[in-house]
C-alpha cells in the first residue's frame, strides 16, 4: 500500500471518529444521566487515540504543566551576636556637672592650717602667754610690694583655736611704725588685721567670685594709746557694718603689737564640728606715715591672696 493510500485511510478513520463524536454529543443532549455521558465521551476519546496509534499517528499531547513553585515559610533571621551589632553610644543632651570638690577639701595655695580645739578658752587680753605656740606666719606681700621692705617692716606670727562658740585668734605683729587714724569702714587704711573666711568651701570650691558665704572681717588695734579697738565686716555686702559679739584686745610691744580675738561662729552662720574645713586667709595692712590714712602695703598668709577670688585663699581645718 502506498503512502497516499495510508493517509487516505487515516483521513477516513478521523472522519468516522468525528461522526461518532457528533453522535455521542446528541446522545448527551438526549439523556440526563451525567455519569453515563462522561463515560461515553471518555470511551470515544480512548477509541480515537487507539485508532490513531494503529495508523502510526501519535496522539496530540497536552503542554507540560509548569513546575510548581514551592514557597516555604520565612524563618526569622538569627539573633545578632555581640560581634554582629554594637548599639550606638547615646550622646547626653544635658550639661555635665562641674568637677566635684576634692576630698578632703584643700586649696592648693599653701599648707592646711589647723585650729586646735580648746576646752579652756584663752583670756582675750592681748597677752599671748596662754598660747603654747604661734606656728603660722603671714609674710607674703600681696599689695604694693614696692612699699614693703621685708619681715621687719611688716609680718605676723599667729595661732588659731576653736570651741563650740568661738574661733580664737592670737597674732604677734612685727611693725616698725604703727599708724592708725581710721575707724569703721576705713580701718584698712591704717595698721590692722583682716580675716577672709569661706564658710561653705565644698559648695563653691571652684567659684572665683564672692558669694553670700564669703566673709571679710577687719580687726583694728586702734592707735594703741588707750583708745577703743575697732572691728568691721565688709563682706557679705548685705551684712556690711560693725558686727557684734566679738571680743578683741591689743597691746603695744617693742616690735609692734599683739592682738587677740574671740569671733563667734554665729557671725559666719556656722555650727562648727571637728574636721570642718573653710577657706581662710589672714592678712595685715601697713601704714608707716604718721597722721595719714593710706594702705601702703599688705602681707598675707598665702601669696596668691586676692580679695574677690576665694579660690586664691588658703584652707583652715578644725582639729578634733
Residue 95 lies in a domain: no
State the Cα–Cα distance between residues 194 and 232, nearest whole angstrom.
9
**Is the C-alpha dihedral spanning 26, 31, 32, 38 positive or negative?**
negative
Same domain flag for 242 and 154: yes
Residue 74 lies in a domain: no
Predicted pLDDT at 161 = 98
Residue 71 lies in a domain: no
Predicted pLDDT at 104 = 85
State the Cα–Cα distance between residues 11 and 2, nearest whole angstrom.
14
Is residue 44 within 8 Å of 20, Cβ to Cβ? yes
Residue 104 lies in a domain: no
Same domain flag for 118 and 199: yes
Residue 156 lies in a domain: yes
Residue 311's nearest CA partner among 231, 211, 244 is: 211
State the Cα–Cα distance between residues 99 and 109, nearest whole angstrom.
19
Number of H helices, E strands in the chain: 2, 13
Determine the distance from the C-alpha atom of residue 13 to the mean position of all C-alpha atoms in its chain, rounded to a whole number: 105
pLDDT string in tens for the chain (320-residue length): 544 444 444 444 444 444 444 444 444 333 344 444 443 334 434 443 444 334 444 444 444 444 433 333 334 444 444 333 333 333 333 333 445 677 789 999 999 999 999 999 999 999 999 999 999 999 999 999 999 999 999 999 999 999 999 999 999 999 999 999 999 999 999 999 999 999 999 999 999 999 999 999 999 999 999 999 999 999 999 999 999 999 999 999 999 999 999 999 999 999 999 999 999 999 999 999 999 999 999 999 999 999 999 999 999 999 99
Residue 222 lies in a domain: yes
Residue 84 lies in a domain: no
State the Cα–Cα distance between residues 250 and 190, nearest whole angstrom.
15
Predicted pLDDT at 140 = 98
State the Cα–Cα distance between residues 211 and 217, nearest whole angstrom.
15
C-alpha cell at 175: 611693725
Is residue 190 within 8 Å of 220, Cβ to Cβ? yes
Q: What CATH number is associated with residue 185?
A: 2.60.40.1190
Same domain flag for 210 and 313: yes
| Domain interval for residue 234 | 113-318
Q: Which of 16, 34, 54 is the last residue in one of the domains?
A: 54
Is residue 112 within 8 Å of 277, Cβ to Cβ? yes
Amino acid at each position: 500500500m502506498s503512502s497516499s493510500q495510508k493517509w487516505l485511510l487515516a483521513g477516513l478513520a478521523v472522519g468516522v471518529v468525528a461522526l461518532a463524536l457528533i453522535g455521542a454529543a446528541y446522545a448527551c443532549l438526549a439523556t440526563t444521566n451525567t455519569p453515563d455521558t462522561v463515560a461515553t465521551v471518555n470511551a470515544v476519546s480512548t477509541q480515537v487515540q487507539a485508532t490513531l496509534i494503529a495508523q502510526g499517528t501519535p496522539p496530540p499531547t497536552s503542554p507540560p504543566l509548569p513546575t510548581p513553585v514551592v514557597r516555604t515559610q520565612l524563618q526569622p533571621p538569627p539573633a545578632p551576636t555581640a560581634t554582629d551589632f554594637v548599639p550606638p553610644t547615646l550622646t547626653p543632651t544635658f550639661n555635665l556637672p562641674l568637677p566635684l570638690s576634692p576630698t578632703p577639701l584643700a586649696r592648693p595655695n599653701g599648707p592646711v592650717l589647723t585650729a586646735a580645739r580648746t576646752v579652756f578658752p584663752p583670756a582675750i587680753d592681748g597677752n599671748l602667754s596662754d598660747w603654747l605656740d604661734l606656728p603660722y606666719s603671714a609674710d607674703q606681700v600681696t599689695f604694693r610690694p614696692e612699699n614693703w621692705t621685708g619681715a621687719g617692716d611688716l609680718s605676723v606670727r599667729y595661732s588659731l583655736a576653736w570651741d563650740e562658740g568661738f574661733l580664737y585668734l592670737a597674732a604677734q605683729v612685727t611693725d616698725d611704725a604703727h599708724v592708725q587714724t581710721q575707724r569703721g569702714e576705713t580701718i584698712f587704711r591704717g595698721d590692722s588685721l583682716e580675716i577672709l573666711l569661706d564658710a561653705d568651701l565644698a559648695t563653691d570650691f571652684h567659684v572665683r567670685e564672692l558669694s553670700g558665704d564669703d566673709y571679710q572681717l577687719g580687726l583694728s588695734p586702734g592707735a594703741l594709746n588707750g583708745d577703743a579697738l575697732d572691728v568691721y565686716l565688709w563682706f557679705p555686702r548685705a551684712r556690711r557694718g560693725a558686727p557684734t559679739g566679738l571680743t578683741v584686745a591689743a597691746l603695744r610691744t617693742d616690735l609692734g603689737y599683739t592682738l587677740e580675738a574671740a569671733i563667734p561662729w554665729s557671725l559666719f552662720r556656722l555650727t562648727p564640728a571637728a574636721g570642718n574645713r573653710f577657706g581662710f586667709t589672714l592678712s595685715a595692712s601697713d601704714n608707716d606715715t604718721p597722721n595719714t590714712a593710706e594702705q601702703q602695703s599688705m602681707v598675707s598668709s598665702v601669696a596668691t591672696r586676692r580679695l574677690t577670688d576665694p579660690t586664691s585663699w588658703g584652707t583652715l581645718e578644725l582639729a578634733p
